[in-house]
Amino acid sequence: MNFNIDPLLSALPEGRVFALDKQTLITIVIQLLNACILAGILGFILYKPVREFMKNRTGRISGQFNDAQNKLTEAEALKAEYEKKLAEIELERIKILEAARVSAAEKTRDILAEARAEAEMFKKRAAESIAYEKERLQKETRLHIIEISSLMAAKFVEKEIGTEDHDRLFNEAMAQLEEASWLS
C-alpha cells in the first residue's frame, strides 16, 4: 500500500496544513450541535432507566454484601457455639474422668476395709479357737494328771500301806470330805 499524498497537498491552499474555511467550520459546528442534541436526547431518554438500572444494581450488590455479612456473622456464631460445645465436652470429659478416679479410690478403700475386717474376724476366730483349745487341753491335762496321780498313788499305797491302814486312811478322807464345802 502506497499512499501518495501529493494530490492531497495540491488541493490545499498555499501556506496551510489543512483547510479551515467557512464550510469546514459550519460542518464542525453542525456536528457539535448534533452531538449535543443527541447527548441531550439520549440523556433525557436514558437517564431514568440507567439511573434505575444503577440503583437496582447498587441494591443487588449491597443486598449480596449484606447477605455475605449475615452469613459471615452466622458462621462466626456457629464457630463460637462449636468452640463452646467443644469446651463443654472437654469439661464433661474431665468431670467423668475425675468421677471415675474418685469412684475407683472409694471402691479401693471399701475393698481394703472389707479385707481388713475379714482379716480381723479371722484373727479373732483364731484367737477364740486357740483360747478354747488351750482351756480344753488344760482340762484334759488336769484330768490325765489326776488319773495318773491316782494310779501312781494306788500303786504306791498298795506297796507301802496294808489293808488296815488303807481302810483307816479311806475313812479319814471321807470324814474330811464330808466336813469340807464344795466349790463349784
What is the model's pLDDT at position 174? 79
- Per-residue model confidence as pLDDT tens digits over 148-184: 778 777 777 676 766 777 778 778 877 877 776 655 4
**Percentage helix, strand, coil for the chain under 3-state DSSP, each rounded to 5:** 90, 0, 10
Q: What value does the mean pLDDT take over residues 27-56?
A: 91
Q: What value does the mean pLDDT take over residues 20-32?
A: 86
Percent of the chain clearing pLDDT 70 (strictly above): 84
What is the Cα–Cα distance from 166 to 173, expressed in whole angstroms? Answer: 11
Give me the count of residues in the chain: 184
Domain ranges of the chain: 23-161
- Supply the pTM of this predicted model: 0.37
What is the Cα–Cα distance from 110 to 13, expressed in whole angstroms? Answer: 127
Retrieve residue 63's grid coordinates: 443486598
Local confidence band at 93 (pLDDT 50, 70, 90 cut-offs): very high
**More confident call, 68 vs 14:** 68
**More confident call, 22 vs 37:** 37
Retrieve residue 126's grid coordinates: 483364731
What is the Cα–Cα distance from 57 to 72, expressed in whole angstroms? Answer: 22
What is the Cα–Cα distance from 82 to 1, expressed in whole angstroms? Answer: 75
Taking alpha carbons only, the member of 170, 141, 171, 140 closest to residue 157 is 170
Torsion of CA 98, 103, 106, 110, to 10 degrees: -160
DSSP character string of 6-23? HHHHHHSPTT-SS---HH
Residues 6+ apart with CB under 8 A from 175: none
Query: Are 121 and 114 contacting, i.e. CB atoms less than 8 angstroms apart?
Result: no
Q: What value does the mean pLDDT take over residues 11-25?
A: 67
- Per-residue model confidence as pLDDT tens digits over 108-124: 999 999 999 999 999 99
Other CB atoms closer than 10 Å to residue 166's CB: what's the count?
A: 14
Local confidence band at 94 (pLDDT 50, 70, 90 cut-offs): very high
What is the Cα–Cα distance from 58 to 66, expressed in whole angstroms? Answer: 12
